[in-house]
Amino acid sequence: MRALIAPVFLWNLSAALPFVFDPAPYVPAFELSGVPGAVMVRSLGLLFLMWNVPYLPALLAPRRWRVCVTVILIQQALGLAGEVWMALTLPAGHATLLSTGLRFIAFDSAGLLLLSLAQALLILSPGRDHDAA
């Protein structure tokens, strides 16, 4: 289970940390600019970090913290649904923003698949007091 949860956690951190500590390179991908754009991207990074809090107990002890596995699965599904909705309703003329959204959709689709498999393993495998790796 941890092997399914860990990549999603690491993908989230790989977006969060650069957004927080060096937002400038990512500002144009959101069709933003200057200080307001950097603040917005940094804010997204902080939200990604907040999003990752329930991953820690899920990684440490997925059976004990199965509720955290459920929470991160729901978060992933909500995030993906929102990204798809935004992409589908984006007006023409925003190719850069659409491209950025499609990258998030791709990563979050893969994450949803991995987290769904982890959840299925929790549900289908016999209960044990220790956590499976």
pLDDT in tens, 42-97: 999 999 999 999 999 999 999 999 999 999 999 999 999 999 999 999 999 999 99
Does residue 112 fall inside a structural domain?
yes
Range of the domain at 91: 2-124
Asked if residues 23 and 42 have their Cβ atoms less than 8 Å apart, the reply is yes
Q: Tell whether pTM > 0.85.
A: yes
- How many domains would you assign to the chain? 1
Does residue 131 fall inside a structural domain?
no
Asked if residues 19 and 48 have their Cβ atoms less than 8 Å apart, the reply is yes
DSSP for residue 126:
P
Distance CA 53, CA 22 (A): 21
**Mean pLDDT score of the chain:** 94
Q: What pLDDT does 126 receive? A: 73
Does residue 133 fall inside a structural domain?
no
Q: Could you tell me the CA-to-CA distances from 85 to 13, 80, 96, 110, 132 in Å, in that order?
A: 24, 9, 17, 17, 36
Does residue 20 fall inside a structural domain?
yes
Does residue 22 fall inside a structural domain?
yes
What average pLDDT does this structure show over 35-40? Answer: 97
